[in-house]
């Protein structure tokens, strides 16, 4: 068989596996990025904690411990590969008696190992999102916080209603980049049996021996996923700037013409 025939045969025979693998990759990237962002906000808040002069000793101790934990967590997770983290998580939890085959038992993609993969990618993304949110918070003009406090808002209200929304808006491009990175990096989770796109391609290749065709197919799928994600992020950016999305798409069509 030539390459074209191999690709046609694989798509005809294993289309369901490639489709399920794509769904698994999207699930990992979306959940990992979304939940990682939420946890990253708390991580950034922990890293911003500093004891104040008027705080009692236990408050100073608590803030110091929380700040130290967040700083160490961020450094360790960002300093080690996600593949290694996944393997440590797998064998560490199994040593504690966790059987992922018994958690959400199912077939194909949506099973207990997918749950394990979601936990790993979320914990990994949290460390990076914490830095993204922290950078966004540092980019907010201090005058915004002072103005909100002068209007009678509490510290918590100022952070939630004024500072955090501006920080997240400033960080949208970087958050989007993390999403795209997760689409591609989720492939390393095949080492613990997560049935994402790469895993399904590997299984198809081992069965059909059409390795080149199998990996070429998923290369195209990954490319389409990242290009589609870039388009979504661009549309979100246009919407946040107050411009019309339809005007953007009309201009793109005119440019193509």
What Rg do the C-alpha atoms of the chain give, in angstroms? 22
Cα(168)–Cα(187) distance, integer angstroms: 27
| 215: nearest Cα among 200, 194, 226, 227 | 200
**From the CB of residue 40, how many other CB atoms can be counted at a distance below 10 Å?**
25
CATH of the domain at 180: 1.10.3720.10
Please provide the DSSP assignment of 107-139 as one string.
STTSSHHHHHHHHHHHHHHHHHHHHHHHHHHHT
Instruction: Name the domain count of the chain.
Output: 1
Domain that holds residue 227: 3-256
pLDDT, one tens digit per residue, over 16-69 is: 999 999 999 999 999 999 999 999 999 999 998 887 777 788 888 888 899 999
Per the CB < 8 A criterion, the answer to whether 67 and 49 are in contact is: yes
State pTM to two decimals: 0.86
pLDDT(238) > 70: yes
| pLDDT value of residue 27 | 94
pLDDT, one tens digit per residue, over 191-222 is: 998 989 999 999 999 998 989 999 999 999 99
pLDDT(253) > 60: no
pLDDT, one tens digit per residue, over 94-132 is: 999 999 988 877 667 788 899 999 999 999 999 999 999
Q: Phi first, then psi: what are they for 246, rounded to 5°?
A: -65, -35
């Amino acid at each position: 068989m030539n390459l074209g025939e191999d690709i046609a045969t694989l798509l005809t025979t294993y289309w369901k596996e490639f489709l399920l693998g794509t769904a698994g990759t999207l699930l990992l990237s979306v959940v990992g990025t979304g939940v990682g962002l939420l946890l990253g906000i708390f991580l950034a808040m922990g890293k911003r904690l500093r004891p104040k002069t008027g705080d009692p000793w236990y408050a100073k101790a608590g803030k110091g411990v929380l700040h130290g934990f967040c700083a160490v967590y961020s450094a360790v997770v960002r300093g080690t590969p996600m593949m290694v983290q996944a393997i440590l998580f797998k064998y560490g939890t199994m040593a504690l008696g966790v059987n992922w085959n018994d958690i959400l038992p199912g077939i194909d993609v949506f099973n207990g190992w997918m749950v394990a993969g979601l936990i790993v990618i979320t914990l990994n993304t949290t460390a990076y999102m914490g830095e993204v949110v922290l950078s966004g918070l540092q980019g907010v003009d201090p005058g915004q916080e002072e103005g909100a406090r002068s209007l009678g808002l509490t510290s918590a209200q100022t952070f939630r209603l004024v500072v955090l929304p501006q920080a997240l808006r400033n960080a949208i491009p970087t958050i989007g980049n993390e999403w795209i990175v997760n689409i591609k990096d989720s492939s390393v989770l095949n080492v613990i049996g997560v049935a994402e796109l790469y895993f399904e391609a590997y299984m198809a290749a081992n069965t059909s021996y059409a390795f080149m065709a199998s990996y070429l197919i998923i290369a195209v799928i990954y490319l389409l996923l990242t290009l589609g994600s870039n388009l979504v992020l661009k549309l979100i950016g246009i919407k946040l700037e107050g411009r019309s999305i339809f005007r953007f798409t009309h201009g793109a069509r005119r440019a193509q013409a």
